Structure 1
Amino acid sequence: MRYLPHSDAERAEMLGVIGAANIDALFSAVPKSALKSFDLGLPAHSPEFLVEAHMRALAAKNRAGADGPFFVGAGAYRHHVPATVDHLIQRSEWLTAYTPYQPEISQGTLQMLFEFQTQVAKLTGMDVANASLYDGSTGTAEAVLMARRLTRRNKIVLSGGLHPHYRDVVRAYLKDDADLEILSASPEGQGDILDHIDENTAAIVVQTPDFYGHLRNVKTAADAAHAKGALLIVVITEVVSLGVLEAPGALGADIVVAEGQSIGNALNFGGPYLGLMATRKEFIRQMPGRLCGETVDADGQRGFVLTLSTREQHIRREKATSNICTNSGLCALAFSIHMALLGEAGFTRLARLNHAQACKLADALAGVPGVEVLNKSFFNELTIRTAQPAAQLIERLAERGILAGVPVSRLEPTNPDVANLLVLAATELTTDSDISELCVALAEELA
């Protein structure tokens, strides 16, 4: 939305100071197609209650995930978030807290971040975790840059099963880097990424479970990378999977990046989300973001401080490991509260319940004529091939009140081989009746 000074004199003065010929010159960098010159249809000069009524009418056109069967995943998952989480994060001392520059008045925030780091390190099986990043996709790009600094090599190999959005973010970070090698995606499996590792490879990036839901052999990938002096970056979009899968750190991963949205954070129309990053102790000084540590004060009492802050907000730009200037602190708090409520046993039960519902979904889909389940392994997400284009099928199922997943063609629009592929997720909120309703509707539409 444009801000315009009230009078012509004020406009002229402002334009003169910044050296712009006219108001339109301020927006010359914005593509013409992105400029909104039409009326947005909002009521003009209306009382507050009429504006509220208008906005409620607009909101009523949305369909929430809880309004019916919901199988959407592909990097963002619908899980139950206890009411306690929302209640606690809205306390004023949390909701208004910012970067804890002064530890003497920020002990609560610092302790929370310290506990959060401890949880993430334990989940991933790594030595140390930072105090969170923006989200999983930017965290992946930061891990790639970190690997290049550590190895002083340039080549990065992205597995074909890496989420397309994550792949695009890495490409944007590296821009026109000729040493970025992106393997082609395969719904049946990622192919052999190990054949692409050489002496110039800084890191290989493997997602598990991958975009199509397949589980990857992290140990084999780690051994192959290390044999060539490269690092292994493991990406996890569904952090709940760590409740049943062996921690990637125990399997040889060097850097682990995850999207933490599944714990404590609702879908929220796409954000804000939460980037998790953990690594080995020897790599700590090249880890982006910031790190909270435990110490003692002048009286010998336990206290918390920012131990490392290697970002340009704290140090010279040329020495910074990242230009990320925030850490999604409120989302990290929600994650930490939810994890504390679950506990280790509760987190494991949650993961097992997710997998159990996904098994029911896979078995039911296998019995639908015109549907082929492609996964031999999965956690709570899987891919099917349908007898009709998935994007059109999804729209027809949505008209029947079923949000049946994500057509791969939506994320890979230039790849004709994925037109009939559909990625579906099941969580603890997926009921047996949801699965039955989906399969009945699928059978009817495919008939």
Structure 2
Amino acid sequence: MQHRYLPTTEQDRKEMLETIGVSSVEDLFQDIPQSVRFQGTLDVSPMLDEHGLLKHMRRLAGKNADHDQYTSFLGAGIYDHHLPVVINHVISRSEFYTAYTPYQPEISQGELQAIFEFQSYICELTGMAAANASMYDGATALAEAGALAHGATKRKQLVVSAGIHPEAKQIIATSAHGLNLEIVEIGCKDGVTDLEQLAAAVSKETAGVLVQSPNFYGCIEDLAAIEPIAHKDGALFIVSANPLSLGLLETPGALGADVVVGDAQPFGIPSSLGGPTCGYFAVATPWLRRMPGRIVGQTVDRDGKRGFVLTLQAREQHIRREKATSNICSNQALLALCASVYLSTMGKQGMQEVAELNLQKAHYAAEVLTRIPGVSLAYGSPFFNEFTLKLPETASIRELNERLIGEGFIGGYDLGQDDAALQGHLLVAVTERRSKAEIDEFAERLEAML
């Protein structure tokens, strides 16, 4: 069968071996004792031709419970949102999908402009003064925000809400360990950060107060009440926000946040089995020079024409080495482009309408699901497009989700996986893609199983 590429030929191997001065590939391993070398043939599947390999991969892909074949009520950080078809057309252009972080502004103006637009959108949504060119994902962005607070205040303590996504908390802990920071976790009351406990924990040793809103349980935090507590002793107020919720909610910037981070996955980025996604990072003016990652700036050339450049690079490790603000040196430019195309396609009104649909459908679903005997809302706090249900004590969420898959539904997230105190609690996400009929059928199937 003809190959679509040129594999290494025997002549290629011969010439390479001659160039480096050995007679065989075996000679390359002569420093490894025979006693520890693997003898024989590796236990892997036999070689497949192109047709056989494609067939095999399609069969494997067919095992996935994707959003096209199944109705999803699973969120917990990755959501089934509408993906405008124009996004794929734009990001499939070779100028974008082959481009790495642009170092040469004279040949990367399109890429730089796309990133600049992304930064501008993030500033509009968050109410912050400046945003960077993106981060790896929302969780690492939150950890970087904690590091920024430490660098800005020279303090050694981070106060973290228990309502933050557990995976993000793990990443924060890893980052804090390397920086020798202490983490103080604040519990939740009725699904949101316990303000009394928070006020008692924040002190002159606190570098930053980290919260997520809507939080991992779906509840909207009272940022206006948290802000004075965070700032009373000079700590930074750091908010991780679902950016889609900002189509309806007041911006964290207007509520006093110093740093706003999050994941741009709701903006036209497919779930892709959990990633990759794209983190955003925005700051108030005092912290601009401490912001990690790349920043694209707008300028004019010598003819007065609009142009774009990478700016404030003196913060970065390839210039400042160990004194850099962060060790992140790249960004998710292609996925940030997804977000930019999504936001430009939807516009301000479209963003508000999509956010409104998420809110209304989630509240309708909560109303319908809590009609099931023994099922109730776990918390009374306001929520956006995700909420926590308390199921009957006899219910096994794992078994329920396995049975729901058989019925064509991807069920909610089992919160008992992360917290033993939340056994029997189901986190349900409802986006604009869910219809009334789907919500009603999901409730019927769940009731029958319970």
Q: TM-score, normalised by structure 2?
A: 0.89
Give per-residue Cα distances to partners, 1:102-144, cap 9 Å, x unaligned.
Answer: 1111111111111111100110000000010000000000000
Deviations 1:14-48 (A, max 9, x none): 564xxx6679799xxxxxxxxxx9845x4x23321
1:91 matched to 2:98? The reply is no
What is the alpha-carbon distance in structure 2 between the residues aligned to residue 141 and residue 25 of structure 1?
42
Q: Mark the runs of 5 or more structure 2 residues left unpaired by the alignment.
A: 1-12
Q: Which residue of 2 aligns with 1:234?
A: 239
Paired residue total: 423
Alignment CA distance shift 1:24-1:97 (3 Å): farther
Distance in 2 of aligned mates of 1:224 and 1:209: 19
Aligned to 1:29: none
In 1, Cα distance between the equivalents of 2:407 and 2:340?
37
| Aligned 1:199-210 pairs, distance under 5 A | 199-210=204-215
Q: Which deviates further from its counterpart, 389-398 or 200-209?
A: 389-398
1:18-29 equivalence runs, <5 A: none
C-alpha change, 1:113 and 1:363, in structure 2 (3 Å) is same
In the other structure, the counterpart of 2:5 is none
C-alpha separation in 2, matches of 1:133 and 1:144: 14
Are positions 1:370 and 2:374 aligned together?
A: yes
Aligned to 1:189: 192
Alignment of 1:211 with 2:216, yes or no, is yes
Root mean square deviation of aligned Cα = 2.3
1:32 maps to none
Matched, 1:379 2:384: yes
Return the match for 1:110 from 103, 112, 136. Answer: 112
Deviation by residue 1:299-327 (Cα, 9 ceiling, x = unmatched): 12111111123565531321211112220
d(CA) in 1 for partners of 2:329, 2:67: 32
Report the equivalent of 2:4: none
Rg (Cα) greater in structure:
2
Moved more, 424-433 or 386-395: 386-395
C-alpha contact (below 8 Å) 1:213/1:375 kept by paired residues:
no
Distance 2:212 2:359 in 1: 18
Check whether the contact 2:317–2:326 (CA below 8 A) recurs between aligned residues: no
Change (3 A) 1:392 1:185: farther
Q: Decide whether aligned partners of structure 1 residues 119 and 12 sit closer, same or farther in structure 2, where only a CA change above 3 A counts.
A: same
Unpaired runs of 5+ in structure 1?
A: 27-36
What is the deviation of 1:333? 0.6
- Return the letter of the residue paired with 2:53: V
List per-residue Cα deviations over 1:244-271 (Å, max 9, x = no partner).
Answer: 0000000000000110011020101111
Q: Which amino acid aligns with 1:423?
A: L
In the other structure, the counterpart of 2:440 is 436
Amino acid at match of 2:144: E
Aligned letter for 2:186? Answer: L
**Does 1:180 find its partner at 2:195?**
no
TM-score, structure 1 normalization: 0.90
Q: How many Å apart are 1:171 and its aligned residue?
A: 0.7
1:330 to 315, 334, 341: 334
Aligned-partner Cα distance in 1 for 2:123–2:219: 24
Aligned-pair identity in percent equals: 40
Q: C-alpha separation between the residues in 2 aligned to 1:21 and 1:375?
A: 63
Q: Which residue of 2 aligns with 1:271?
A: 275
| Cα separation, 2, equivalents of 1:303 and 1:24 | 59
Deviates more, 1:367-376 or 1:392-401: 392-401
Q: Does 2:422 correspond to 1:418?
A: yes
**CA 354–9 in structure 1, closer or farther in 2 if over 3 Å, else same:** same
What amino acid is aligned across from residue 355 of structure 1 in structure 2?
L
Asked if structure 2 preserves the Cα contact closer than 8 Å seen for 1:288 and 1:310, the reply is: no
SS at match of 2:72: coil
Task: Tell me if structure 1 keeps the 8 A contact 2:269–2:339.
Answer: yes
Give me the whole-angstrom Cα distance separating, in 2, the residues matched to 1:170 and 1:227: 23
Q: CA deviation at 1:350?
A: 0.7
Pair 1:92–1:196, CA change in 2 (3 A):
same
Q: CA deviation at 1:85?
A: 0.5
In 1, Cα distance between equivalents of 2:30 and 2:229: 59
241-250 vs 222-231, which moves further = 222-231
Give, in angstroms, the shift of residue 441 of structure 1: 1.3
